[in-house]
Structure 1
Amino acid sequence: MENSTDRALKLFIVLSRASKVISEDAHRLIDKYGLNPTEFAVMELLHHKGKQPIQKIGQKILLRSGSMTYVVDKLEKRGYLERLLCEKDKRVTYISITEKGVELIESIFPEHAKNIEALMSGLDAEEQDAAINLIRKLGLSVRNLS
């Protein structure tokens, strides 16, 4: 019988390997369009949520502010994003997706969503719901440890 440490290590390895395989497959599609996963995440967030303060984008996609600025700079140079100064607080900069960015994300997202659906199809709907709840519970418990 496994002890709690062995079981925890096994779970960590299984989660890590599954995450790596799933991410690599999902990123292959994004790479085809000349984006890296972080760039795609920023554009997807802005497309679905509208303009956001640059700090909030970093928080939502778990990226440090220095890295966030670099990603936004790259996407802005390519014409996919634009910076907008906040009228009420000049210290706040909003990032908005441009029409060119919308066209790109709308050309990628349906295929991306289908790909994710296929990647998750190893579990039926009930198993997916159970996995969502268990992994969320695990993530929240780890956050509470910090």
Structure 2
Amino acid sequence: MEWELIRESEKIKADIQTAGASLMQPFYEKYGMNFLKISVITEAELNENLTLNVLAQNVNKAAANMSVIVSNLVKDGYLKKVTSTYDRRVTYIQITDKGRDILQKSRLFIIKRYESVMSDGKEIRDLINAAGTYLNKLLEANRKMVTADNFDL
């Protein structure tokens, strides 16, 4: 395989990430949000027994860094902390109604943005399928590297 193809695929991944962030920038500015904050609120929506360590693992960030983000989202009313009734040392991070509202607004915003350039969901479905295939190939390559006894250049 040619290095140029791999380099091009890496550039496209980076460009997609940049374009996605740019697409959401007006929303982020209006509501004082960013991708990480929305991701944290989403994790709380998906898991009512979310702990700081699980959250950090799910968003691939250090727990210490997540503590600051969570504290700010609690202060702003998007999340709440609830102490476990079984173990007082355990604190759960849970979404509030205000958190659900900001997620709904972010989803409507992105849907409207996508609808302005796409006629139906087929284009996105094709992209998801291609990206999923690519991801599976990357994960397969990673597994082979981890199990390889040696690595020759």
TM-score by length of structure 1 reads: 0.77
Q: Is the 8 A contact 2:44 2:94 kept in 1?
A: yes
Where relative contact order (Cα < 8 A, 6+ residues apart) is larger, the structure is 1
* Letter paired with 2:135: R
Match of 1:86 in 2: 84
Secondary structure in structure 2 of the residue aligned to 1:124: helix
Match of 1:75 in 2: 73
- Count of matched residue pairs: 144
* Letter paired with 1:81: L
Structure 1 pair 111/88, CA: closer, same or farther in 2 (3 Å)? same
Instruction: Quote the offset at 1:51 in angstroms.
Output: 4.1
* Letter paired with 2:34: N
Query: Which whole-Å deviations, capped at 9, do the CAs of 1:9-54 have from their partners, x for residues lacking one?
Result: 2221222222222232134323321112111111122224434112
What are the within-5 Å matches in structure 2 for residues 122-137 of structure 1?
Answer: 124=123, 127-137=126-136
RMSD over equivalenced CA pairs, Å = 2.8
| Larger Rg computed on CA atoms | 2
Structure 1 pair 126/36, CA: closer, same or farther in 2 (3 Å)? closer
Unpaired segments of 5 or more residues in structure 2? 147-153
Secondary structure in structure 2 of the residue aligned to 1:52: coil
Q: Distance between the aligned counterparts of 2:142 and 2:67, measured in 1?
A: 26
Structure 1 pair 67/39, CA: closer, same or farther in 2 (3 Å)? same
Seq. identity, %? 21
Instruction: Quote the offset at 1:70 in angstroms.
Output: 0.8
Q: Is the 8 A contact 2:27 2:33 kept in 1?
A: no
Q: Distance between the aligned counterparts of 1:6 and 1:117, measured in 2?
A: 33
TM-score by length of structure 2 reads: 0.74
Match of 2:48 in 1: 50
Instruction: Quote the offset at 1:101 in angstroms.
Output: 2.2
> Which moves more between the two structures, 74-83 or 21-30?
21-30
